[in-house]
Amino acid sequence: MDSVLDFSAPVAPVNIGLASPAIDPEAQALALAAQYHNADAQTVLRAALSLYKGGIALVSSFGAESAALLHMVAEIDRATPVIFLDTGRLFSQTLLYRNELARRLGLTDLRTASPRQALVQQEDPDRLLAYSNPDMCCWIRKVDPLDTALEPFSAWITGRKRHQASTRAALLPFEADAGRIKVNPLADWTGKDVTDYLERHDLPPHPLVADGYPSIGCMPCTSRVAEGEDARAGRWRGKSKVECGIHVSPEKAGSGI
């Protein structure tokens, strides 16, 4: 990762025709991944925001590492839609952090996606589903609301990184998923890259990081991480689950829906 960021640099040349609806998303993703496989995060992000302008959104959890990508997007275009999933089971600190970052970065199109309350009442009336069937809980509270929120967009940006999980080890800067382009500008970043970026730009940390939460999701499925443990060890602790389901197929997520 470059130590000096130049957001005034011209956007790398891209084939605007790739964004045509006539071109299959799989073909778009393959071409873009090949073109940008060695590009840095800023170049990937600027290219994506230019290529899919008006049809791209950033999906952010406003978690432990989210400020870096949110800051990059805000430096390029603060009007970029940012989708936040309010599952109804988040830490209150996350909601406060979202508000603080949005104000600080000047985000002008922050959208909140929430689960369908009728579905929540039907499947999780006692709010215990996270313990008995976390895959179903994630589908109701994350996957389904995001599917709806992404309907107006042909592309979306994630903060996923290869080092985070075995399911992300082969992550490319551009992917095709459910008929859309998924952009992963931070695919090759390490935890240190994120920390360095946050410090260099004086970005506030999520308040729970100092309390032992290096990876933050919903309250029932997030625990503190001991020294020496993997940063995501506190997510769905004691279960084989490593993804909420947003980034895997329903069959693999085990939603049952």
Nearest-angstrom CA–CA distance, 166 and 47: 27
Nearest-angstrom CA–CA distance, 175 and 181: 6
Sheet hosting strand 180-183, strand order edge to edge: 110-113, 82-85, 56-60, 155-157, 180-183, 174-177
Tracing tokens 């406060």 back to the chain, one arrives at 96
Tracing tokens 């075995």 back to the chain, one arrives at 166
Catalytic residue among 137, 218, 221, 244: 244
Q: What is the DSSP string of 52-119?
A: TTTSEEEEE---TTHHHHHHHHHHH-TTS-EEEE--S-B-HHHHHHHHHHHHHHT-S-EEEE---HHH
Task: Judge whether 85 and 110 are in contact, CB under 8 Å.
Answer: no
For the question of residue 244 being annotated catalytic, the response is yes
Nearest-angstrom CA–CA distance, 92 and 54: 32
Nearest-angstrom CA–CA distance, 127 and 137: 9
Q: Which residues are the active-site residues?
A: 244
